[in-house]
A and B are shown apart, each in its own frame.
Chain A
Amino acid sequence: MACCAISGSIQAQYNSKVILLPFNFQCLNNSDSFCVMLWWPLQQALNVTGNGQAYRWDMKKLISWIKENLLQERPELFVQGDSVRPGILVLINESDWELLGELEYHLEENDCILFISTLHGG
């Protein structure tokens, strides 16, 4: 029943296949897929240097980034604490993220990450 509004403009800006957010068909006009695709911010993120040292994003960072940058309304419907709400399934390259270390998983280039809401109403 939770639903995350994601602005339509985002999909126009970023168009490659790194993260898929299948939440809300309202936010996407071409409803052939529910994908909001991000590429640029991750590409940048993967090469960010903090304290002169390169580091890669982990899922925790990604979720907080999504919370701050993509969710416009009611982030509590997506995020709970550092992680996603119960009822949202996270798949990394079609594998359950529980198998890959959940929040500690470090993103690789071209990873396909799906957040699937299993709640009624999206």
Chain B
Amino acid sequence: MCNVEDQDLLPPSKAKNASRTCIKCKEVAQIVLRADNCYCRSCFIAYFTHKFRATIGKSKLIRSNEKVLLAFSGGPRSSAMLYLVHEGLSENIHKKLRFLPGVVFIDDGAILQLSENERRNYLEFIRTTVSKTGFPLFCESLGKIFPTNQDTNIQSNLLSSDLSNTTRSDATSSSNFDLDTLIKRFKNDELKIVQVFEKLPNSTAKEDMLHILRKKLIQQIAEANGYTKVMFADCGTRLAVKILSDIAQGRGSSVAHDVTFADERNQAVTLVRPMREFLTKEVANYLTLKSIDYRTRLSLTTMKPVKSSIERLTENFVTDLQASFPSTVNTICRTGDKLSVGDTSKIDADAICPLCDSRIDTNNSLEGKTTSKTTSKICQNTADSCCGEGDGSCNRIARINLTAKEIEDRLCYGCRLIFHSNNWEMDDLPQFLIDAIEKQLRRKRLKEEIEEFLLD
């Protein structure tokens, strides 16, 4: 009974491909999704659009006239998503999408070390693409996550960088000028973040940090502008990679959140993933058939060897496996789906990692490993980060003096690894993180103070 015949396990042999026909309409097929699933052009487009709308509709999460922000990078997946949303809103059909979209673009050119010219071209592309849809566009540099002293108010800055205003008043010469000032402002914001990224020990930590900060900034922008949902264009293949690399990086506790359709860790802004049922291959086919313009996004590991980061290595593993076993991605995603998030409302606010918003599942077992490291760091860092007055007069740390240990204790295991073996200073931490930790600490102190007066 337990005998499994060998040939069952072998990858399906490459089919002898005489001109095959579409499984729906029996026309000549153009697209192969997996071994025998062939589609013709029109059936594929219908299938793709239907799947997108069905994923949104099935969730019943997005109400009509709700403000939804689309995270748009100009890459293949988000370009397809933007197109699908635009199409879904303009058509006069019964499954019309009924929300009010806005588009956000986060420029991470500084971290990818793009030249000014490349960044200008890229921004220009983003602007023209989004202006075709007529959605409002928010453009911000990733450097914004480290606010400079003058502009702590994120909202006012975003309004000024709302490029859609400038595009509507056409005039190409003036819009060119606007891009220049925008890039200049971006550069000003980015001094800090470039330094911080240089300090991170390896590309795994850099990629991880980039994802976290980008997500944070998008959430901040959404919140500041009254958007309650953010759509990310993660597709199935990406999610499969994310599940495996999350586990490899000690982020097992956040896997469930990272793959569900709706990630509700942040109470104000929910992240949704309407593209999660697609494979990258389907997206690429769709883009080509619809001749949608997109840019190939560079990443931190572009042109680097396969083993340059955990994420990269995992992607390689998944795509190699997917080539011979076409259900690999689906299997991984379905497995991820089975992990349940649990009741988030019951979680103590103290037990949430302020950096990645996931639940902290580490306990003392981990601390033995990090204690010796952190104690030596306390001495070093308190001296570095404060003038010694301890009353905040040096303004480097407002109100409460945080020690490295206090900060590290508040982070989840995965986030601790980002800062692992790294001589970072308080200054290198984004303000939102320091604020969140201070808040947690104040609560904790207050709790301790009133503890004896509480009834059990």
Residues of A within 8 A of B (CB): 1-3, 5, 22-26, 31-34, 73-74, 77, 85-87, 89, 91, 94-96, 98-102, 114, 116-122
Contact, CB under 8 Å: B303 / A74: yes
Chain A residues near B381: list those with CB within 8 A: none
Contact, CB under 8 Å: B121 / A122: no
Cross-interface CB contact of B301 among A31, A95, A102, A121, cutoff 8 Å? A121
Chain B residues near A33: list those with CB within 8 A: 293
19 contacts between A and B (CB under 8 A): A1-B315, A3-B296, A3-B302, A25-B118, A34-B295, A85-B319, A87-B323, A89-B284, A95-B31, A96-B30, A99-B32, A114-B288, A116-B288, A119-B315, A120-B238, A120-B315, A121-B299, A121-B300, A121-B301
Contact, CB under 8 Å: A96 / B296: no
Chain A residues near B31: list those with CB within 8 A: 95-96
Contact, CB under 8 Å: A3 / B288: no
Chain A residues near B38: list those with CB within 8 A: 99
Contact A118 to B76, CB < 8 A, known contacts A31-B125, A74-B303, A86-B323: yes
Contact, CB under 8 Å: B289 / A94: yes
Contact, CB under 8 Å: B17 / A100: yes
Contact, CB under 8 Å: B303 / A102: no
- Which residues B279-295 have CB closer than 8 A to chain A? 280-281, 283-285, 288-289, 293, 295
Distance between A60 CB and nearest chain B CB, rounded to angstroms: 14
A2-B30 Cα distance, complex, nearest whole Å: 26
Contact A120 to B299, CB < 8 A, known contacts A31-B121, A91-B288, A100-B17: yes
- Interface contacts beyond A96-B32, A114-B288: sample of 19 additional A-B pairs, CB < 8 Å, sorted by A: A1-B301, A2-B303, A3-B302, A24-B298, A73-B303, A74-B305, A85-B319, A87-B315, A87-B319, A89-B284, A89-B285, A94-B30, A94-B41, A99-B38, A116-B284, A121-B298, A121-B300, A122-B297, A122-B302
Chain B residues near A22: list those with CB within 8 A: 296
Chain A residues near B298: list those with CB within 8 A: 3, 24-26, 121-122
Contact, CB under 8 Å: A89 / B281: yes
Chain B residues near A2: list those with CB within 8 A: 302-303
With most chain B CB atoms within 10 A of its CB, the pick from A85, A87, A91, A117 is A87
Contact, CB under 8 Å: B284 / A118: yes
Contact, CB under 8 Å: B296 / A24: yes
Contact, CB under 8 Å: A77 / B17: no
Chain B residues near A23: list those with CB within 8 A: 296
Contact, CB under 8 Å: A118 / B280: yes
Contact, CB under 8 Å: A121 / B32: no
Chain B residues near A85: list those with CB within 8 A: 319
Contact, CB under 8 Å: B237 / A121: no
Question: Does B19 reach chain A (CB closer than 8 Å)?
Answer: yes
Question: Does B320 reach chain A (CB closer than 8 Å)?
Answer: yes
A95-B29 Cα distance, complex, nearest whole Å: 8
Distance between B90 CB and nearest chain A CB, rounded to angstroms: 25
Contact A99 to B323, CB < 8 A, known contacts A116-B284, A122-B296: no
Question: Does B369 reach chain A (CB closer than 8 Å)?
Answer: no
- Fill in one digit per residue for B297-321: 1 if any A CB lies within 8 Å of its CB, else 0: 1111111110000011001100110
**Identity of the chain A residue whose Cβ is nearest the Cβ of B121 in the assembled complex:** A31
Contact, CB under 8 Å: A25 / B17: no
A96-B302 Cα distance, complex, nearest whole Å: 25
- Fill in one digit per residue for B304-342: 1 if any A CB lies within 8 Å of its CB, else 0: 110000011001100110110000000000000000000
A35-B298 Cα distance, complex, nearest whole Å: 16
A2-B296 Cα distance, complex, nearest whole Å: 11
**Identity of the chain B residue whose Cβ is nearest the Cβ of A30 in the assembled complex:** B121
Contact, CB under 8 Å: A31 / B295: yes
**Identity of the chain A residue whose Cβ is nearest the Cβ of B295 in the assembled complex:** A25
Chain B residues near A96: list those with CB within 8 A: 30-32, 285
Distance between A6 CB and nearest chain B CB, rounded to angstroms: 12
Question: Does B14 reach chain A (CB closer than 8 Å)?
Answer: yes
